[in-house]
Structure 1
């Protein structure tokens, strides 16, 4: 009775299965399914309580199909993002084992409580672009000790797609040439998103650490960088930025 909701939530969680982790090391694009819950401010505590109860049940029963991390943003969105190889993967009943272990009625009641915490949920696909990202030490979504996130959304029109990508390529080259210490990952909009954009994710210890990293990078890169970034901005339709936090307390990985 809740198979559709369950499938979306599970695939929407960061299902970092072994094959998906390996895919991130490839130079080719990696598709990610995003499930986004826009949680009511008054229901934040209840939502997190339900999510942690769900994780506790997965730990108790050592559910092997799920391996999840969670991010929430300052505007009360909770993002569950997981790598997928194809669209058919979205139909897999990943919570089937948990339903069997918990009992479908008990698990259904858990999701019923979760549904009351938000009126809006969104599902879409984005693509991690390793060739456009700058992480000399290797691409990872969860650098150790850096749970703070700044998400930069650079929106553009279809007519400017080529010009925008040209600037993104030029920016990475400048970072490489100057030996920048500021890592970032680039994601491209995909199926189900409203309009086209590149999303750049930057990790740091906290907001102060992020600000210090950006200030040091700007000083090191100099006027050449400011000129390039200004010309990049001129190709855009809109720019948005959101602060976020990784939530290891809501994460789950099966025991070996």
Structure 2
């Protein structure tokens, strides 16, 4: 019961966000705070989960809810809802708007919809990430799902405590190298915040699919040369844990204003 209530509350937070995601921005802020809800979906229940999430999208669309969110699925059946929020102070305000949203949708309709998620996942969590556009290279690259660059190459670096500033400097050098070599494709950098392990740096590179990424990666390595390899080795030397995952943005499970 507690788990079900937590999920219901979080989805209400989605609908009461104060900042909408935009894919047509020409200038991005230096940093963006992101609220993340991660469901660890049971593989054989993934079809039921996706069906429930699509029904949820239809429900909020029919109710003309004015908020937006994106969904990414990784190769280990983690589905993460991504919501851009304004600031830490704004988070506290979300909890006061739940009744308004439920009344707009209809309490019975909302509860029936939430029941569709029962049994679909064995755990879930909420956390915050910070998108560092100032450290990213062409951060707008791949943002628009209509462009078809919905594959995501995800590299997670968990830095040795006390080495965070050193990693920041390495990222700046990495970005300068991309700029100097005029690489066509971009990457985004995220740092962990509330609810994540300490020292988390996430590098995200979009592509059409995994094969397309491998082709682009080979091309970039030839252009960037030994300088990139040296920077990577320096990053690894201050990293205590590394993870890689393949991800796929799911526009069909996301909600955005038309």
Same structural fold, with TM-score higher than 0.5 when normalized by the shorter chain = yes
Q: Which residue of 163, 171, 174 maps to 2:174? A: 171
Structure-2 residue corresponding to 1:197: 200
Provide the aligned length of Structure 1 versus Structure 2.
253
SS in 1 for 2:239: coil
Q: CA deviation at 1:139?
A: 5.8
Displacement after TM superposition at 1:180 (Å): 1.5
Contact 2:57 2:254 in 1 (8 A): yes
| Inter-CA distance 226–19: structure 2 relative to 1 (3 Å threshold) | closer
CA distance change for structure 1 residues 16 and 128 in 2, over 3 Å: closer, same or farther? farther
Which of the numbers 143, 146, 161 marks the counterpart of 1:158? 161
CA contact (8 A) 2:69 2:84 kept: no
Q: Point out where structure 2 has 5 or more consecutive residues left out of the alignment.
A: none
Distance in 1, Cα, partners of 2:159 & 2:130: 16
| SS of 2:102 mapped into structure 1 | helix
- Which of 97, 116, 119 is the matching residue for 1:116? 119
Change (3 A) 1:209 1:16: farther
Residue 32 in structure 1 maps to residue 34 in structure 2: yes
Change (3 A) 1:31 1:23: farther
The answer as to whether partners of 1:68 and 1:251 remain within 8 angstroms in 2 is yes
User: Root-mean-square deviation (CA), in Å?
Assistant: 2.8
Q: 1:163 to 1:14 in 2, by over 3 A?
A: farther
Deviation at 1:67, TM superposition (A): 1.4
What's 1:70 paired with?
Answer: 71
Contact 1:13 1:69 in 2 (8 A): no
- Secondary structure of 1:159's aligned partner: coil
Unaligned 5+ runs, structure 1: none
Distance 1:124 1:45 in 2: 25
TM-score, normalised via structure 2 length: 0.87
- Deviation readout 1:12-50 (Å, 9 max, x if unpaired): 589694487799934432111111000011210110111
